[in-house]
Structure 1
Amino acid sequence: MEGNGGRSGRRNDSISSVMSLGTDNNNNNNNTSPSWSAAPADQRSSRAEQVLDHEASVHMLSSHYAPEDHSYMEGSNSDTDQSDMMSPLEIRHAIFEMLDELPQCASTDLVTPYQKAATLPPVTQDSLCELDVGRIINNPKLRHDVNFDRELHFRPNLDGPRGKTKLKSADEYWKAVLAELEVYRAVGFRLMTSRSDEELEYWTCMIKANQIRLPGIFTTIYEILKTLVPERDQAIVAERLDVEMIMQQICKGVFNLLDLAQWLATILKAHCAPMRDDWIDQMLEGTTQGVEEGNQKAVVVGLRQTLAILEAMKLDVANHQIRHLRSLLIDDTVNFQQKYHAHKIAAGRFKVKGARDWFKAEEALLSGCNLAPTPLETFSSAVLRSLLSQSPIPHFPDTFHLDYERLRQLRSDIHNMIQLDMCNKAFDVLIKDKVSEQTRAAGKKTLQFRITGIIGDSGLYLENLENLSAEIVRLVLELEGSDRTFDSDMNSIVEHYLRTELPLASSAFGIQLQSILDTELPRLCNAVKSSARLPLLALHDVMLPPIQPAGKGAAAKPIAEPLLDEILKRVTHLAVIHWHVWSPIIYNLQVAVGSTDLGSPDNNTDTAHVNTNTASPSSVASTPDMQSQTGGFTQLNPSITNSHSQE
């Protein structure tokens, strides 16, 4: 396969209007080309003038915009120092003015993205580095989370305000790339029609100064692709993606983008999952259309899709590694975390006093009630008491730092359960004995469904109090057979009741939390005690049973557990893993200091103690198929997204 360096200096008409220095294939007359010549500096468009004046006033010109700072700018035929002809600021202004005069800027501002957008693509090898297998097996958050999610995998983290900001920045970047391509085309035409050495040098200086983002795109494609192909393909990848050669060919108008896209499509299909083939075909089809029709936007879309495909391939590899390593990572949880935390404690970067005080406070509280719990029972009680705290911010020690999101979600689920129960009680107050028990029970199911529709995933009951009250009244009237859908007196009763009961700080809420603690603590202690005897891999299978595939012969779908039982199950899982990791370090202080037994689910954790002089965290031994690449991102839970890189 011919490399980029082997092409002749002959102009390639198939891409002359896209990323080369020629005229537009579809518009070859001079009237449609940008009207641009070496105009005096005082002839400025208003937008370009504002940009220049702003940059000059605050001295924001970066040195990387100067032509001599780019490695791709070597090999100029001019003997004249470019800086003697034009300053970097003048070069920048000339490019801004040219962009402002392009027909494309009539509907889209290309100057601002060109000036302000990032110089590197949104996806780079550095941004994907956490998908690397070495980072995966040494990522404490991921190694902890894998215990709680059978379907844990990476995906780009584009959720929330930060995700919106990233998407907006990416859009601005690709607009800037479009602007850069338009400059290549406009300056390229002038460069090829120059009639004097000064003109040639002027436009050469301009086109080299325009090499801001395009080199970074090809460099990123090369860096990511070389981590995805085997050793035998490394040489051809390096040859075809020689970035300096590509930029020289672009400047001379002989770069064959279509040929490169076809080669990329072939090599990507050879090393990606079959499900990515259609995406690769779309990339190639769009790039081909852009080259043949001189459509710069289509070319930008093709480049953007190429990076997205490479990112997806890296994610596929990382998720394959997680599936492959899952059992090893779970089985090694206690050993890894104890060494990891012992190393931080020994270095003075992790304090355990707060956790010891938290445990001793619970121990003192239970002793004051004439109870003699075991350390494990004391710990279980402390976990549930903190979880059911009426304080807006629960008091969990720093040892739970890897579980904060899980604990937050557990508290939210408990609060939602209590607030839903309060809505049911308001319904009971209104309905009284006006309907049968069967109708009342069916009404509560209907009410739960409607409340879920009002609240959604937000859990904001107080913020939706008026809507909740109106819905409860409407349902009561409906069950009573009334033609009305609203009753102001009934609505006032319900609103007053909910406004008094629903707040977390209300006495009614506190009574509900205390009731759960009193009734469920014995169950939790028994569950933790029995579950602590299991190896972590067996515990994982018990707490997260495999989902049976649908189809003939598949087991019937189990009936969903009651919400409180499901919550206690999650608390048990979390508490058992925490106990195995931290009991030798914090909670069993009566054990002799200096024991090197780090404890495990198969050992007696009541007699283990960690040696804080343990070496730094160990890594799971790499197997041959783990020596490939990856880089991490955002760990995805079917219900909760946890970020491991992120960003």
Structure 2
Amino acid sequence: MAERDVAEELMEYLKSHVEGMPSYGSEAQRDELVAAFRQAPTLPPVTKQSLSELDIQNIISNIKLRHDVNFDKDLSFRPNNEGPRGQQKARYSDRYWLALEAELHLYTRLFQGTPPFRPSGLVNASVYFQRAQRRVPKAFETIHEVLKSLVPDRDHQRVDEHLDVRMLMQEIERGVCDMVALVEWTARLLKEHCAPMRDEWVDKMVGRMREGAAAHDLKTIVLSLQDLIGMLETMKLDVANHQIRNLKPLLIEDTINYEKHYHLDRIVNKRSKVNFEAAQRWWACVVQDLQVQHTSATKDAARTRLELFSQAVVSSLFSRDVQQELPDTFYLDSDRLRALKSEVEDLVHFEICFSMFSQLRKNFGHVGAVSNATRDRVRSSLSAIMGESMGHGSQAWIYNSESLSLEISRQAQLIAGRSPFFDHHNLQATNECLRSLFHNTFTFHASTLEAVLLVQVLGSINKHINSSPTELYNSLVASPPPTSTPPFITAPPTIDTFSFYNNTPQDRLSDLSKRISHIVLLHWRIWAPIAYVQDDASGVSTHLLLPPQPAVTLSAQSQSASPPPPAPMCPAPAPEHDVPVVGLMKTGEPPDPGSGYENGVSDQTSLP
């Protein structure tokens, strides 16, 4: 009999075996079970290979982790169960466990069925038995391999004795395999080596296996095996995270040395994902765009280069010009920079909303000061309207402009002592006004914030310019991660503005400046000698000063540039198709994708 005929006959045996069972009462459920056995993956969702990313050798050679560890106090591995990859992983898992359940049903029919299994044709029964064993042996192999990778060498012999896959499959074929005893032994071994906090989960796994065995419920037995493999994954994560915590000081202190050698080696051997020449061109353009005549004999050339570089990075966070995208030398910081860009853009849009509120309340006759309570109320209302749209760029603000303008108008009427009144014409005019402000005053508000933030970034860089990576970590990653709601600092009631430039939100700007300066200082120390400071090769002089506007230097921590005059309150609305959209920062190729684990970093907007 052909191999295909054997496979098809096994499908028929499976389908007929489950027919009449309450769990598979419909034809569709039986077809799904059979389809899973035929098509689902043969390996469990967790294997020794998939967990190898968490081995100590791979941890210390993981360039992304070694970079990310500088930016997160609580960095740790965790399963990546979110987004498209997480959904794919869930589908894989569901199909696999259903197929394992189907395989156990097929074993029951082949090995312990009534009447006894009698193959048709000339094919030996052992052929059917062999073809049926697609997943269970591999599941036992996975448990065996992962357990041995977790327990000390002294316990390896015990694992080999209790998880002899060939012996277990023979016991299943003869109907004498004691799965309860196997799981109970595994539970005792796990409790010897895993944290006490996992004991409840272990006990739950054993309870499920006992329940499933007593009731001959294969679905419950599979759930117990699923718990077991899930616990092995969790134990591996616990071990990896413990190793990260122990190695963290050494990894951080060695960041610059390690990354320099890593990138140079890949460049020399033509394995780098970084466009080295594009990075050099970007730096040459930065120098050319920001250069002025050398006017200070005391100006240090190295310091000037760092100022130019810092200004270029800060500018990229505010720019809507794709020409100002950062080169792919920043690929390890892409998530952090993208998060910063989103936060900056949201801050600018909030400021535009506050400016409109300030103008509208005056139009409604209110000329007095604005209380802190009113400021908090307006801020909270606008934040609630934006909700999860925060961090999704200008289009999200434009999409919510009708609700935002309605709330701004309502709050302006309330502070002016009026009962909120709206009609279709006023609502439309207010919405058009806000949208035009988003289009036409974004650059003004962004440039104002940029000037203030640049002063703080340069001040932070000046303070930490000689700090080691460990000192940078201790000083610049001390504050908790930013919240999703923009924490504006309200002005005293005597100041009639919400602006961060007339009333600087020190906490927020201090947080942003620390995060930016940390990225700048590490990146510059790693990449400047590799890609940027190439005076002789490029012919571009980097012994330059910053331009006088804005007049910002590393020592000018209290200096700020004068903003350009504001645009009219309600200019003519721009056509909707002319609304500029902020492009994503170019970050080059990402590192090679992992097997399904990610190391969480607090600067990420949402954390392969």
Moved more, 315-324 or 206-215: 206-215
Deviation at 1:330, TM superposition (A): 0.5
Out of 521, 527, 538, which is 1:576 matched to?
A: 521
Out of 384, 388, 412, which is 1:453 matched to?
A: 384
User: Does 1:491 find its partner at 2:390?
Assistant: no
Deviation at 1:354, TM superposition (A): 1.7
Give the structure 1 partner of residue 598 of structure 2. 634
Out of 221, 245, 256, which is 2:143 matched to?
A: 221
Moved more, 417-426 or 456-465: 456-465
1:153-302 correspondence to structure 2 within 5 Å: 153-190=76-113, 193-194=115-116, 204-302=126-224
Q: Label 1:231 to 1:631 Cα distance change in 2 as closer, same or farther (>3 A).
A: farther
Give the structure 2 partner of residue 421 of structure 1. 351
Deviation at 1:129, TM superposition (A): 0.9
Give the structure 2 partner of residue 430 of structure 1. 360
Q: Are 2:79 and 2:598, in contact at CA under 8 Å, matched by a contact in 1?
A: yes
Give the structure 2 partner of residue 106 of structure 1. 25
Which segments of 5 or more consecutive residues in structure 2 lack a partner in the other structure?
391-395, 481-504, 539-593
State the AA in 1 paired with 2:252.
I
State the AA in 1 paired with 2:16.
M
1:454-603 correspondence to structure 2 within 5 Å: 454-459=385-390, 460-484=396-420, 486-502=422-438, 506-545=439-478, 561-590=506-535
User: Does 1:135 find its partner at 2:53?
Assistant: no
Give a deviation string over 1:104-160, Cα, whole Å, max 9, x none: 332433112222211111111111111011111111110001101111000000111
Q: Are 2:286 and 2:312, in contact at CA under 8 Å, matched by a contact in 1?
A: yes
Indicate the SS of the match to 1:562.
helix
Q: Label 1:515 to 1:507 Cα distance change in 2 as closer, same or farther (>3 A).
A: same
Q: Label 1:325 to 1:484 Cα distance change in 2 as closer, same or farther (>3 A).
A: same
User: Does 1:147 find its partner at 2:70?
Assistant: yes
Deviation at 1:516, TM superposition (A): 2.9
> Could you tell me how far apart the structure 2 residues matched to 1:508 and 1:264 are?
65
Deviation at 1:492, TM superposition (A): 2.6
Question: How many residue pairs end up in the alignment?
Answer: 512
Indicate the SS of the match to 1:167.
helix
Q: Label 1:458 to 1:370 Cα distance change in 2 as closer, same or farther (>3 A).
A: farther
Q: Label 1:371 to 1:516 Cα distance change in 2 as closer, same or farther (>3 A).
A: farther
Q: Label 1:148 to 1:282 Cα distance change in 2 as closer, same or farther (>3 A).
A: same
Moved more, 353-362 or 326-335: 353-362
Indicate the SS of the match to 1:461.
helix
Identity of aligned residues (%): 35
Provide the TM-score with structure 1 as the length reference: 0.73
Provide the TM-score with structure 2 as the length reference: 0.78
Deviation at 1:538, TM superposition (A): 0.8
State the AA in 2 paired with 1:636.
G
State the AA in 2 paired with 1:331.
E
> Could you tell me how far apart the structure 2 residues matched to 1:172 and 1:84 are?
27
> Could you tell me how far apart the structure 1 residues matched to 2:384 and 2:133 are?
53
User: Does 1:397 find its partner at 2:345?
Assistant: no
Which segments of 5 or more consecutive residues in structure 1 lack a partner in the other structure?
1-82, 548-559, 594-629
Give a deviation string over 1:306-345, Cα, whole Å, max 9, x none: 0110000000000001100111000000000000011011
Deviation at 1:425, TM superposition (A): 1.5
Q: Label 1:283 to 1:199 Cα distance change in 2 as closer, same or farther (>3 A).
A: farther
User: Does 1:366 find its partner at 2:290?
Assistant: yes
Give a deviation string over 1:290-312, Cα, whole Å, max 9, x none: 01111111111100000110000
Moved more, 101-110 or 416-425: 101-110
Q: Label 1:264 to 1:390 Cα distance change in 2 as closer, same or farther (>3 A).
A: same
> Could you tell me how far apart the structure 1 residues matched to 2:226 and 2:42 are?
14
Kindly report the root-mean-square deviation, in angstroms, between the aligned alpha carbons of the 2 structures.
3.0
Moved more, 227-236 or 101-110: 101-110
